[in-house]
Amino acid sequence: MSNRLQDQVALVVGASSGMGLATARAFAREGAKLVLAARSANKLNALADELGPPAMACPVDVEDVASVDQLVAEVVERFGRLDILVYTAGTNIPQRSLEVLTPQTWAMMIGANLSGAFYCTRAVLPPMRHQQAGLIIYVSSAAVQRPDVSGVSYQASKHGVVGLAHGTFREERDHGIRTCVIFPGLTDTPLVLKRPTPTPPEVMAKALQPEDVAEACLFVAALPPRTYVPELVLMPAGLA
């Protein structure tokens, strides 16, 4: 343990699985005080037990504004500050092509992938402004860099996250608030199981691991406040 995040309070949204889970473990290893947020209370509680105090499990529905506001209020009440937000929450659906996409599934995708990111951003800005410092890391997708068949609702929502990140930095940088967007390529997470056609094992064998994305988040989070990493593209070398 090098304690690169010693005494930093980090809120990881989407911490119950995949990239969020790996990021929480990486941050805890470096001394951060972790707030673990996702829908699954059981998974969060198990992770909090694994990481030990002061890790704090906070079940939340990111599409519920009041729930998100209450989450951030609890964080500030317990720790007195909030230094880092990592937004890894996101989803996709098998019925993703325009031929079968419905207004309802479109709204669900925008809600989970983009609106949730906005609600979390909106909630963390007041304490970050107060302390004149803060970092928000958004995990988007390489589908933004290289359009693919991940579906228009997924691509549109992940493009939206990029606009949210860059716009937030332009408005909030005078308050010491920085943002970063990470664009992972194919990663071996549960989201892959939602593809309409299973990805061949020989392709998955070359995919990124959640820990790779977690290390990218850690790299950005451990940099001095004078630095700004607008975007970071992370691709599997064997598939690039």
Known catalytic membership, residue 154: yes
Stated as kind and residue range, the H or E segment containing 232 is: strand 231-234
- In sequence order, what DSSP letters do the residues of 132-173 get, joined into one string? T-EEEEEE--TTTTS--SS-HHHHHHHHHHHHHHHHHHHHHG
Contacting residues for 194 by C-beta, under 8 A, at least 6 apart? 91, 92, 93, 94
- Tell me the C-alpha distance between 138 and 159, whole Å: 11
Pairing between β-strand 134-139 and β-strand 9-13 as defined by DSSP bridges: unpaired
Q: What angle do CA 68, 30, 2 make, to 5 degrees?
A: 160
Burial of 97 (0-12, 13-18, 19+ CB in 10 A): exposed
Residue in 87, 138, 154, 228 annotated catalytic: 154
- Tell me the C-alpha distance between 126 and 82, whole Å: 10
| Active-site amino acid positions | 154
